[in-house]
Structure 1
Amino acid sequence: MQLSREALLQAYTRMATIRQFEERLHDEIKTGEIAGFTHLYCGQEAAAVGVCEHLDDDDMIVSTHRGHGHCIAKGCDVKGMMLEIYGRRDGLCKGRAGSMHIADVSIGMLGANGIVGAGAPQAVGAAIAAKLDRKGKVAIAFSGDGACNQGTTFEAMNMAVVLKVPAIFVFENNHYSEHTGPDYATATATDIAGRAEAFGMKVWRANGSDFFSTYDAMTELLAYVRSTNLPAAIELDTERFYGHFEGDPQRYRGPGELDRLWAERDCLKAFRARVSEAKLIDIADLDAIDAEVAALIEEATTEARAAPPPDPANVADDVYVSY
């Protein structure tokens, strides 16, 4: 599908924002000011953006422990996210969520999740609501290759088919479930999408390190789901450039593996090369976006450092729903 120049610029802006946001966190976490585990999304930007560029605020997504990229791709406020990760009062979730549980229901981001495979049942519930609303909306569960071995994911896929709901299961296969490759831990290592196919749903496969491959596959997939109200799945072959979590020594990596990935599977480099070679966008315009994003990330970080923490007097707020 041919995208407009404006659409291409927006896609690049979101991918660049994810990359710079994560790289800044990679540096900031070393200061000790950010509490809890953090799992960075660098390398997988094309997957999140290629999926979410099709969505509006009424389409819903459920994320994973590696959720910053999904949040930004769905439109979460970057400054609000940085405040949240720093545990500040004015964060997106008032400083209560931290890195692994950021949510913004107002734009259809139902939350990141620290439990592997836990997002799939939530997405099915959201898909049931979408079907009842009859507005042609969908619910997407992002997960990694590790989640394909979870019973919750199997049950969710089965339920989605049985109930005939517009749930989409996006498997980002970055080739490491924490520290274990799918060739060791997954019987269908080279075909995770086939597991969803076994439940009776249509599946797609795409290069998750290529924005255009992901975007085009999602164009077809979403047209099918929106028109039929039936579930579907897609496997995106991608890579993560940092460890499973910040501080992971990555001893499971082979010699030179990371250097090869940065050189050969960097989705931002691939995007820049494609649009410039096709004379769709000048490199200077992309460089200008990089500079604007850098200024935004710097501002967000500076403000987050200086922002006040939550008031202990409000510790019981939002614990229970008031009807």
Structure 2
Amino acid sequence: MNFRDIEYFAVLAEHGHVGRAAEALGLSQPALSVSLRRLEQSMNAKLCKRTPKGIELTDVGQVLLSQVRRLRQTREDVMREIADLSEGRAGNLRIGAHAGLIDSLLGPACCTLLKSAPNVTLSVSVESSDAALAAIREGRLDLGLNVMQSPPHPDIVQEHLLDDTIVVFAAAGHRLAKRRQVTLDDLEDERWTATAFSAPALPLLSLALQDRGRKPLRYVVQTSSLTFRDQLVANTELLGTSSKRLLKQIKARHRVVELPIRGFNVKRSVGVFYRKDAYLSPAARQFISILKTTAKIIAKEQ
């Protein structure tokens, strides 16, 4: 088996077209076809089939592509580890975080890391839980900071950091804002704003209403921006959900209140994620330790 043929196959699979793959590799189409036939002969299996639009992988081809991607990740991990050891390089840490954790947890932890390891560089993105997990599995992120999954993905390690309580909040002038207690029935005709980070609170709340024979939640605005959500809730009759911890920060910027909803008790756990077989640089291990220390401080302040 020729490793160059395997790499050519991966490029072909990713492009889905012999001509485009050959152009990307700087090969002629006949040369790429010869490479594919040689690989198929060495494996004694058909790896792809031609279609009017290009090529499609067979089941065997799909398995091979999956393993090739794993090999690529392993190769990249090895190169990063060797560079860290041979050059004393701190490297770049790629982090994907839940939007609600940027200010309270990620920000302070990054400040601490950069003070203690000034040569480290950071690439930080805001990611939903599903997007972060996919990026970690594919080697595009080193660490994820998000709501923990149950059950956890078999290829992902989750380390617990802290627990959150989810609450419903409204503008200070909302009709429900002055009540000592709000029932689920009171929420039936309310309008809501939701974000990509609202799970699991809103789906659970909607199910609770339907179980009581009520209408499900009515989402008027869906957004990926927590700042935009907060502005909408503070200046309209829309309701939203937030962690109790984050709501303290929202109250510092807007006139909003927590609604005391009877029978609504949703908690979630926040953790740091990384690929089970991934190389963790010294900077990544140090950052995980800093996250745990920062999370303990936050938990004491709640």
TM norm structure 2: 0.25
State which structure, 1 or 2, has the greater radius of gyration over its C-alpha atoms.
2
TM norm structure 1: 0.24
Higher strand share: 2
